[in-house]
Amino acid sequence: MLVMILPFSLLIALVEWQREIQIGASLLVIGFGMFRLVNRRHPRLMARIRPTQLALWSFAVAIAHGAGLMLVPIYLGLCRAADLDNGHEAASALINANLVMALVVSAVHSVAMIAAGGFLAWLVYRYLGLKFISRSWLNLDATWAASLILVGALSLAISLTTPH
């Protein structure tokens, strides 16, 4: 009985505490952005992953750089249905049509992103070479940290100005 009732009680708590959760999440994003801005040193753990474990390395780097935080603005209310353009409204209608369509849209999007990223990586490797990559490292940590702070501040402002 607990397994059936617990999710619904958590949803009720989520609805009742939504503003407080949004404020807390906003502060968390701002705090993480400030931490990344101040602490620019990469964790040494990333250097200990062998090149043969590329998938593990990619996953670890994505986690270390806060890739999961890109979903936070959706919950923070920055992505509202009223603000969607026609393309996003059509995608939303397709996804809400049924679960199979949502999975197909997600799979097509993932394949397209992997193919585009792989093609760009191949172009750089083929025409610019590995020496170019090792000499021209582009560090976007400060930009990433500033964007987290900006998104967190924007979401905090929206949460505080939206009537309760």
Nearest by Cα to 48 from 56, 40, 37: 56
Phi, psi at residue 127, to the nearest 5°? -100, -25
Q: Distances in Å between the alpha carbon of 119 and those of 52, 112, 126?
A: 20, 10, 10
**pLDDT, greater one: 128 or 131:** 128
| For the chain, domain boundaries | 2-80+140-161
Q: DSSP letter at 137?
A: -
Contacts 24+ apart (CB under 8 A), 11-20: 19/159, 19/162, 19/164
For residue range 3-15, list pLDDT tens digits in order: 777 776 777 777 7
For residue range 36-85, list pLDDT tens digits in order: 889 877 666 656 667 677 777 777 767 666 666 665 555 555 555 555 56
Residue that has been written with the tokens 């999975």 in this structure:
103
pLDDT of residue 115: 92
Nearest by Cα to 78 from 17, 160, 164, 155: 155
